[in-house]
Structure 1
Amino acid sequence: MHPGVKLRHIRAFLDIAAEGGLTSVARAQGITQPALSRTLAELETLLGQPMFLRQGRKLVLTEGGALFRRHAFAAVQALEAGAAALRPGGETTLRIGVLPTVATHFLPQVLLRFRTLHPEILVAAETGPHFHLMRALRDGAVDLVVGRLPGATEMAGLRFDHLYEEDVILTARAGHPMRDLPAPQALAACPVILPPATALIRPVVADYLAANGLAGLRPAFETVSLALGRGLCLGSDALWFISRGVVVHELQRAELIELPTGARFLSGAVGVTQRHEAAAPGLEDFLHIARDISTREA
């Protein structure tokens, strides 16, 4: 990197990328907009290419700008973590993206043990759909994502640490009137809740339906939310395809039951996805704890 690139260039660039414009960033930094424009122009000259394109009043990252942002964000995070580590009693933050399959049972165990080992580290968990969390991971907004294995096309620049395999099950309320029927017959007769089209488990569910002559089945609802899916099942005869880990406590309490599907391929890998250059506080200990708990659970 050109030796003329300074931390002020990087911070200005990241702030502009986050805000999509110059005015609010200049105001927040207490400088004039022309001065901020000069800082950005200096960075683009030193890097040898434009970082933004102007679309109306908004600044949009170029392809090169988006690539540089991911690395710049991670670099600033690493520097801030290093500075914080030098301050006695200073708090550092581990930012994690959490998918529903681990949020109910597995991840709380990991976090509680991690807390006993690193009480000085704040764990900030962000939930959301898979595509949102993967974008946050690439942009550096989270340090890792815990959940299902991403698709092969999403793994460039990332690595996945496998923890365990988990089933996708068909569940319904206890006492469901069609609990003793074959699953395809019950599915044809009842309202069905499917994972959203963007969910990682949707393709295996679609394959199961197609294999049982239900490719054209129209769901009544789409969700992987425990609160919503549980409420819909308990209040109706709906059948829900969902990862076992999401509803494990409801199954243990016999609020929900599992309907046998007879399928062996309704499963997938669960683990931790992170950037190759990840440098987050307590990350190695987090992974060690996650591996240990997944081994014991298995």
Structure 2
Amino acid sequence: MHPSIKLRHIRAFLDIAAEGGLSPVARAQGITQPALSRTLAELETLLEQQLFLRQGRRLALTESGALFRRHALAAIQALEAGASAMRPGAAGVLRVGVLPTVATRFLPQVVLRLRELRPEIVLAAETGPHFHLMRLLRDGAVDLVVGRLPGASEMSGLSFDHLYEDEVILVARSGHPARGRPATEALARSPVILPPATALIRPIVEDYLAAHGLNGVRPLVETVSLALGRGICLGSDALWFISRGVVLYELDRGELIDFPTGARFLSGAVGMTRRQESRAPGLVEFEQIAREVVRNADQSLPVPDARRPRNPGETP
């Protein structure tokens, strides 16, 4: 690296990339916009690369800028972790990407135990669809993602730690007129909510529908949002394909019921995905606690087993 590149260059670049413009960064740093622009220009000159393109009022990363951002974030995190390690008890931030399937019951248990063990660590949770969280992980904007197993094409440079299996189920309001009938019969008569096309569980749901001659189903809406899916189900006769972990409390309270599909392939691995070189503060403890929560789980996690109470009409 060019010896004239300073930490101020790196921090300015990362802040501009995060904000998408110069003005908010200049205000936050208490400097003028021309001064910040000069800092950015110096960095581009020293790297001999254009890092941003102007798109209207926003600055968008070039391909070179995106590549440099990934490594710059990792470098800053490593420096901050090193400084924190020299001050036992010092605060640190662990940034976690959270998919809906773990947000209801599993992750809260991990967070509360981490708070007991490492109260100085601040856990910053980022929610969103799988593709968004994986991009944040690769860019270094989160330290790990907790959710379903990524596709094989996404795993280069990453590691996945399996925790448990979570099934995809078909749910509806407790007073649904097809309650107690086979899932395929209910699907043929009711509006359907599907996971979005970008969701990891969408392909197995499509496989199930195709296997039962229902691949022409036109969804009422596509979502894995608990607030939206729950609201539509409670206000209509819609059926919703969703991971059990998302709707655990609604099932426990009897607001929603599970239409048994009889398809064992409607399940998948849930675990922790992270960059292999990640050394974020509190990361090791987080992973250890997550494994302990799974080992100690009985009915507190959505792990399919024979002890789960069956719904009316469900066969063993």
Report if TM-score (shorter chain) is over 0.5. Answer: yes
Q: How does 1:49-198 map to 2 (within 5 A)?
A: 49-87=49-87, 89-198=89-198
Partner of 2:267: 267
| SS of the residue 2:263 aligns to | coil
Question: Is the Cα–Cα contact under 8 Å of residues 12 and 40 in structure 1 kept in the other structure?
Answer: yes
After superposition, the CA RMSD in angstroms is: 2.2
Unaligned 5+ runs, structure 2: 298-302, 304-316
CA distance in structure 2 between the aligned counterparts of 1:38 and 1:256, rounded to whole angstroms:
58
| SS of the residue 1:290 aligns to | helix
Question: Is the Cα–Cα contact under 8 Å of residues 137 and 275 in structure 1 kept in the other structure?
Answer: yes
**More off after superposition, 169-178 vs 101-110:** 169-178
| SS of the residue 1:292 aligns to | helix
Partner of 2:250: 250
CA distance in structure 2 between the aligned counterparts of 1:73 and 1:5, rounded to whole angstroms:
15
Length-normalised TM-score, structure 2:
0.86
Structure 1 residues 29 and 189: alpha-carbon distance in aligned structure 2, compared to 1, 3 A threshold: same
**More off after superposition, 48-57 vs 63-72:** 48-57
Letter in structure 2 aligned against 1:258: D
CA distance in structure 2 between the aligned counterparts of 1:55 and 1:187, rounded to whole angstroms:
46
| SS of the residue 1:216 aligns to | coil
| SS of the residue 1:93 aligns to | strand
Work out whether 1:276 is the aligned partner of 2:276: yes
Residue 195 of structure 1 and its aligned partner are, at CA, apart by 1.3
CA distance in structure 1 between the aligned counterparts of 2:49 and 2:62, rounded to whole angstroms:
9
Report the number of matched residues: 298
Work out whether 1:44 is the aligned partner of 2:44: yes
CA distance in structure 1 between the aligned counterparts of 2:41 and 2:17, rounded to whole angstroms:
14
CA distance in structure 1 between the aligned counterparts of 2:200 and 2:52, rounded to whole angstroms:
32
Residue 36 of structure 1 and its aligned partner are, at CA, apart by 3.4
| SS of the residue 1:181 aligns to | coil
Residue 229 of structure 1 and its aligned partner are, at CA, apart by 2.1
Partner of 2:310: none
Structure 1 residues 260 and 92: alpha-carbon distance in aligned structure 2, compared to 1, 3 A threshold: same
| SS of the residue 1:39 aligns to | helix
Unaligned 5+ runs, structure 1: none
**More off after superposition, 42-51 vs 127-136:** 42-51
**More off after superposition, 174-183 vs 116-125:** 174-183
